[in-house]
Structure 1
Amino acid sequence: IQSDQQDRLEQSKCDGAEKEASLDKISADVSNSIIHFNVGGKKLSTSRKILTMIEDTLLSTIISDEWNKRLVKDIDGAFFLDYDPVLFKHLINQLRYWSLNPLATRVFSLPIENKNEFISLVRSLKFDERYLTDTFSENVNSNVKVIDNQRLCVKTSEDQHLAYVAGNLLYFEGKHFIKLMLTLTNMQIGFIGIRPANLPIEIKSIKNSFPIPYTFGIDNKCLVMNGTCTSYFSAWQTFTPKNTFLIELDCDSRTMHITRDQYAQFNYHHFTQIRFIDLTLAPFPWQLFIVLKDKNDYVRILL
């Protein structure tokens, strides 16, 4: 009798293990099931696992039962999405890369062409802003050089020649954070802030034309509002060779905070300074705008 009970117990354990393995297989099959799309007339297929790897996006909810009934399907039963197929494929390929490389930094790289359209696609699919980081535009004047995947800008011209660079991202809604590291030869900045992206960059001279019209931010000694120096401050006139700045843009309240973290070597003291800037007069969309003052100064966008 004891032997029969032991046999039944062992059989029960085996049945339970098989059932659990079967459920795991079903779960794996569901997560890896293939989803077929018709994106702007082009067919694209990917796994459910890729679509759901980032939570709370439209991609992660688009294949739910509720959306399944609402989405239009083509004659082959593929979900129709009215997006640019090249940009959508670029996005899916990066999700695939993140899936294969769990330690990779999850920040979308911008395509060579149609950068702003890709950014709009990412935002329309409800990806959090942390998956986007600004880069420097390569459409700059000849006095700077943009390198390192467009995250580093170096002034290459002589000291008195104006050198500016703009960001690629356009800001027009929500809250955004941009972290910068500035390395300064003579410990003086040219300008840090934003400008309306749709307005031309008006520079009367390539030498010491500060501030530049339509800019909002800080230069080496004053607060700049719409290209005009509105108030002076002495605390920021002496910069260390390396400076970290955090720009907080709030498009909804039309405000900007620029926070500077600095370590003073002469007294081993760390301190933080914050400047508030009203952007009511700055028309959307905005873009990052930096002016480097001295040769070999450089600015890096930090992740």
Structure 2
Amino acid sequence: MSDSTHTIPRELSSYNQNNDPKPSQELEQKEHQVTEKDDAQKPRQELQQKEHQVTEKDDDQKPRQELQQKKHQVKEKNNDQKQFDIKNFQMKRFLSHSEDIVYLNVGGKQFVTLKSTLNYIPNTVLALLCSPQWEDKIPKDENGHLFLDCDPIPFRHLLSQLREWSCNRKSKNHKKVFDLPSDDPMSFQNLCRQLSFDRKYVNGIYRQDQFNKVCGNAILKDNGLVATQLGNYHHYCEIRGTNFYSTGIHRLLLKIEHQRRIRTLKNQTDAIFIGIIWSSTPMQERSFDSPTAYGWTGQKQVYLNGIVAYPQEYGGWDSDLCLNDTVELIMNCNEKKIQLFNQRTNKVYEIIVDTVTGCPFPWQLHINLYYPDDLVRILS
């Protein structure tokens, strides 16, 4: 009879040891640790990925930022250069060497200026003062200042305008003409001749016009220096000057001594016309309608070729002429234009004249009056 005790085979025993649950738990624990480690590293990887994306984005934006920075630097440099140019322009004429300063004694009055101012118009006595050929031959006072035996009052007016012209170097000399001093124009004329200034710079100082022809109900007084409308007569009339203007620059001073104004419901009307007309144009009462008429009148109207210019207020004309205003009519035949300067408002108005199909040379002073007692005087 066999033994009832069962013996476990060695192989089976060994199998059971290998399949013990403890090693399995350790394996699961290790897998869990790995998973936890991966989970822990995942945010870091995402963060690194985001940082990489940001880096790539920054790398893409970097050239654009550099370009913007360069543009900003260029803009700042241009602004700095612009400011420097402005300052340089402002200070340029004041930055002179001591040898450029000229001390003058004119009729006992001291003047100090620059050689560039005296030299601005060549071939004059003032320009020759600065040349080595004549500088040593001009008499000097006890202080060593160059002496000129001239009237200092018109000389101050002359020097002031030369300074103004020398500040604006863009303008050409031949387009310049001296302003007429209101207190003593004859003395200024004599000084210009004494200092050998060409006539083109002083044209108009010595020209005297007067009214000569009338068409309509107007009369002339004071040897043709005054034109006025008669009594209560409401109608246009034409008055022309004596002189003919074809070359040079000519200035006439006109004074509005009486100008009656009427007020309508819409505006204030004045009807004095001041301008020029072709000398061969037939006289007519409404001569401002003539195809050769150019000038200024009321209601902000400017006439070109006898037609009201469009738009109104051509050249800034505002019809601002009042009683006792003195205006200067400048007939610049050289540049084919006329100008009207109102001394009270200090405004200048300009009209370019078409001398081919509009108003050929020679020109004449041309006035139209309408209201009773309207009066225009030519100042001597």
Normalising by structure 2, report the TM-score. Answer: 0.40
Match for residue 163 of structure 1?
237
Pick one of 208, 222, 228 that aligns with 2:301. 222
How far, CA to CA, are the matches of 2:232 and 2:291 in structure 1? 23
1:135 equivalent to 2:213? Answer no
| Deviation string, structure 1 residues 179-220 (Cα, Å, up to 9, x no partner) | 10012111723210000001223x4xx5x7753432101111
Matched residue type, 1:300: R
1:180 equivalent to 2:262? Answer no
Pick one of 280, 283, 291 that aligns with 1:213. 291
5 Å-filtered alignment, 1:1-303, equals 129-137=204-212, 139-182=213-256, 183-186=258-261, 188-201=270-283, 203=284, 211-220=289-298, 221-231=300-310, 232-233=312-313, 236-237=318-319, 239-262=321-344, 271-280=345-354, 281-303=358-380
The 1:179–1:238 alpha-carbon spacing in structure 2 relative to 1, beyond 3 Å, is closer
CA positional deviation for 1:159:
4.5
User: Could you say what secondary structure the match of 1:258 adopts?
Assistant: strand
User: Could you say what secondary structure the match of 2:318 adopts?
Assistant: coil
CA positional deviation for 1:238:
5.1
User: Could you say what secondary structure the match of 1:130 adopts?
Assistant: coil
Greater mean alpha carbon deviation, residues 156-165 or residues 281-290: 156-165
CA positional deviation for 1:130:
2.9
Matched residue type, 1:188: D
Q: Report if aligned partners of 1:215, 1:225 keep a CA contact under 8 Å in 2.
A: yes
How far, CA to CA, are the matches of 1:235 and 1:275 in structure 2? 6
Greater mean alpha carbon deviation, residues 249-258 or residues 210-219: 210-219
How far, CA to CA, are the matches of 2:342 and 2:297 in structure 1? 13
Normalising by structure 1, report the TM-score. Answer: 0.50
CA positional deviation for 1:245:
1.1
User: Could you say what secondary structure the match of 1:283 adopts?
Assistant: coil
The 1:128–1:241 alpha-carbon spacing in structure 2 relative to 1, beyond 3 Å, is closer
Structure with greater strand percent: 1
Q: Taking CA–CA contacts closer than 8 Å with sequence separation of 6 or more, which of the two structures ends up with the larger relative contact order?
A: 1
CA positional deviation for 1:160:
2.7
Q: Report if aligned partners of 1:185, 1:297 keep a CA contact under 8 Å in 2.
A: yes
- 5+ residue gaps, structure 2, are 1-183, 188-201, 262-268
The 1:163–1:142 alpha-carbon spacing in structure 2 relative to 1, beyond 3 Å, is closer
How far, CA to CA, are the matches of 1:217 and 1:241 in structure 2? 19
Q: Report if aligned partners of 2:288, 2:294 keep a CA contact under 8 Å in 1.
A: no
Task: Let me know the Cα RMSD of the aligned residues.
Answer: 3.0
How far, CA to CA, are the matches of 1:198 and 1:210 in structure 2? 14
Q: Report if aligned partners of 1:144, 1:157 keep a CA contact under 8 Å in 2.
A: no
User: Could you say what secondary structure the match of 2:211 adopts?
Assistant: coil
How far, CA to CA, are the matches of 1:224 and 1:272 in structure 2? 22
Residues matched between the structures, number: 170
CA positional deviation for 1:241:
2.0
How far, CA to CA, are the matches of 1:159 and 1:191 in structure 2? 17
